[in-house]
Structure 1
Amino acid sequence: MSAGSPMVGAEEPSKLSEEEASQLAEELKAQLRSGRVPDAASESIEKMVAGLGDPRGLMRLTFAESLGKVGMAAVPSLCRALEQHDSVTVRRAAAKTLTLIEAPQALPVLLKALLNDPDPVVQGSAVGAMAAVGAEAMDDLLQVLINPHSTAMQLGLASWAMAFVGARAPDALRKAATSEHPEIRCAAVAALGDQIQSLGDDTARELVEQSLGDPDTAVRAEAVTLLGKLHNPEWATPKLTPLLEDDEGQVRKNTALSLMKLQAVEAIPALRRCCEQEAQDDVKAVLALAIKQLDQDG
């Protein structure tokens, strides 16, 4: 599907004239102001969905808010619009409106939009709607991470959504941190930082510590990077220092940078020793930078 052509088999979408959209929007605003839920009849929902294609942003917002108030009854029409509509404006608005409803039954269509829609805004809005669903979206997000065809943007969006979901469903994120797939473990470790900082989650801390010895290089590198962001040098420095002698250069570099961020002056002797022994020029340069910065901090 391209942003300018409908999917094969898509039904001809309903359309509203500018006058029809304005009149309907005024009626809906009156209902919203009075606290009434807009009509949930199929015909009414289809008209509101058609209104999502209006060129006027405030009009689209009125239709989106109204569909959000209608709730679950609007989900099938919104999913159909997200999956089939030829207008990128409608697809974007449909995904954003599904965020308001938090409908688990929309997850298959949202995942399809994240992976297949050519518009990056649609992809971002779809993953936002998935994150709003919460723990039930975690399995779909994990599938994005292990999909070999996922783009860097899709991987980043899925990782962000995992962190968002993890704040509401910490058990799901903890489970992901022990996945058999290194891509999932890596994303989960990166997301555990919010739980450690916001919730003081001791289980999350233990999982990060375990990740420092993970057999996968990317997971270890992510874990040492996270420790540098948590502003807890008393806890992190003794855990990080041994990683200066990790087998992989990327882990050694990330460790030195984290020690530098933590202002861990007590790690200077270990950094000096490792710098003298380091064979990789790029790693040696980072070690030297960390030593210089920590010398100034001390």
Structure 2
Amino acid sequence: MSEHQPLSVDGQPQQLNQDEATQLAEELKQQIRNGVIPAGDSDSIERMVAGLGDPRGLMRLTFAESLGVVGKAAVPSLCRALSEHDSVTVRRAAAKTLTLIEDPRALPVLLKALLNDPDPVVQGSAVGAMAAVGAEAIDGLLEVLINPNSTAMQLGLASWGLAFVGARAPEALRNAATSDHAEIRCAAIAALGDQIQSLDDSEARGLVEQGLKDSDRDVRAEAATLLGKLHNPAWAAPLLEPMLNDPEGQVRKNAALSLMKLQATASRPALDVRLSQEDQTDVQAVLKLAINQLDQAG
């Protein structure tokens, strides 16, 4: 992401009253209906950006769609609005409009909004816009995952963004799954499901299997959970049964829950053996639940 030059976000935003916004929106809709791209000069763009603060949702949509048609020329003004505007409505709309344009130059500003904007909708829309850019957004999303100051919501949004991008950039996601940072490996493993199901990616399968042997508890737990979501008990059950003996209780629980979700009735004896040896009450409860559900499924 560092290869993109930061956009200038200096300047004062314009404002439109409702009559001006209505007139401008009608002009823009007529232009688009006639196949005419709205004017891309700075003054015209600033007026459209000002329209993103209109209290009428359909009006904001017209301005957002028009800016999307203008495309890359609108990115500096949208980044300025996202970074500096006092109105949360404008910041939300600016982030959503950047999603339509998919310009990598906006990534630094979008990352800043994810990490610093106090509004959760702005944060979520910023991640959506980052994910729309594709593989070039991965570095920024990974920065969020290893940032000790990231909130639980920011971590969740970054993980979602990583999964979304991974479907379009599988190689980048596979690289993340072998990162030196456990947080990144964990998020990448969780995001591999689409590649395995949609692309039958054998490399991704191998990374999940590798994740089951990871030195980090959370990575092993995430890999065990993912196996339960892939609807392939013939592959997953033999991998999950040894995880019932993992030294970490959370991993044992996740393995049992995944066997239950897969309706892996052939794994019932392995669950029985684990239950007879288990000394953690929370893990015992999960094992009993899994056994009960498999009995019903069988």
TM-score, normalized by length of structure 2?
A: 0.96
The residue aligned with 2:178 is 178
C-alpha distance in 1, partners of 2:212/2:144? 24
Give the corresponding residue for 1:152. 152
What code does the residue aligned with 2:274 have? C
Structure 2 residue identity aligned to 1:218:
D
Structure 1: any 5+ residue segments left out of the alignment? 1-8
Counterpart residue number, 1:134: 134
Matches within 5 A, 1:2-17: 11-17=11-17
Take 1:62 and 1:269, find their aligned partners in 2: how far apart are those partners? 61
Q: Deviations over 1:73-102 (max 9, x none)?
A: 000000000000000000000000000000
Describe how 1:1-298 pairs up with structure 2 within 5 A: 11-298=11-298
Q: How many percent identity over aligned positions?
A: 76
Q: CA deviation at 1:12?
A: 3.6
Deviation at 1:270, TM superposition (A): 1.1
Q: How many correspondences in the alignment?
A: 290
Instruction: Provide structure 2 residue ranges, at least 5 long, that are not aligned to the other structure.
Output: 1-8
| Inter-partner Cα distance in structure 2 for 1:68 and 1:12 | 21
After superposition, the C-alpha distances for 1:137-192 in whole angstroms (9 at most, x for unaligned) are: 00000000000011111111100111110010100100000000010000100100
> Counterpart of 2:186 in structure 1: which amino acid?
C
The CA distance in 2 between the partners of 1:29 and 1:292, in whole Å, is 60
Q: Deviations over 1:188-217 (max 9, x none)?
A: 001000111111111111110110000000
Give distance in 1, aligned partners of 2:126 and 2:237: 39
Hey, what's the Cα distance between the residues in 2 that align with 1:289 and 1:120?
36
How far did 1:17 drift? 1.2
Counterpart-to-counterpart distance in 2, 1:41 and 1:11: 15
Distance 2:288 2:40 in 1: 66
Instruction: Find the aligned partners of 2:29 and 2:40 in 1 and give their Cα distance.
Output: 15
How far apart are the structure 2 equivalents of 1:179 and 1:149?
20
> In structure 2, how many angstroms separate the alpha carbons of the residues matched to 1:245 and 1:17?
67
Q: TM-score, normalised by structure 1?
A: 0.96
- Structure 2 distance, partners of 1:167, 1:230, is 15
Write the distance in 2 (CA, Å) between the matches of 1:11 and 1:203: 49
**Residue 266 of structure 1, CA deviation:** 1.2
Amino acid at match of 1:201: D
Find the residue that maps to 1:229 and give its secondary structure: coil
Letter in 2 for 1:109: V
Pairwise CA distance, 1:10:
7.0
Partner-residue secondary structure (3-state), 2:36: coil
> SS state of the match for residue 92, structure 1?
helix
Check conservation: 1:224, 1:240, Cα contact below 8 A. Answer: yes
CA deviations on 1:115-155 (whole Å, 9 max, x unpaired) are 00000000000000000000000000000000001111111
Matches of 1:75 and 1:186, distance apart in 2 = 33
Distance apart, 1:11 and its partner CA? 4.5
The answer (yes or no) to whether the contact 1:10–1:85 under 8 Å persists in 2 is: no
**What amino acid is the match of 1:211?**
G
